[in-house]
Amino acid sequence: MATVVVSDDAMIRTETLQAVLGDEAAVVSAAMDDVEDTVAAASEASGLVVDVNTPVPRVVFEECDRLQIVARAGVGVDRIDFEAAVEHDVTVTNVPDYCTEEVSTHAVSLLLAGVRRLNTYDRAIETGGWDWTDGQPIHRLTESTVGFLSFGQLAKRTAEKLAGFDCRLVAADPYVEAEAMADYGVEKVAFDELFEEADHISIHAPLTDETHHLFDREAFERMSDTAVLVNVGRGPIVDEDALLWALENDEIAAAGLDVLEDEPPENSPLAERDDVILTPHAAFYSEESLTELNEQIARGILAVFAGEQPENYVDPEADWL
Active site residues: 234, 263, 281
Cα separation values, 219 from 107, 152, 211, Å: 20, 22, 12
Q: What is d(CA 21, CA 2) in angstroms, rounded to the nearest whole number?
A: 10
The 3-state secondary structure of the chain reads: CEEEEEECCCCCCHHHHHHHHHHHEEEEEECCCCHHHHHHHHCCCCEEEECCCCCECHHHHHHCCCCCEEEECCCCCCCECHHHHHHCCCEEECCCCCCHHHHHHHHHHHHHHHHCCHHHHHHHHHCCCCCHHHHCCCCCHHHCEEEEECCCHHHHHHHHHHHHHCCEEEEECCCCCHHHHHCCCEEECCHHHHHHHCCEEEECCCCCCCCCCCECHHHHHHCCCCCEEEECCCHHHECHHHHHHHHHCCCCCEEEECCCCCCCCCCCHHHHCCCEEECCCCCCCCHHHHHHHHHHHHHHHHHHHCCCCCCCECCCCCCCC
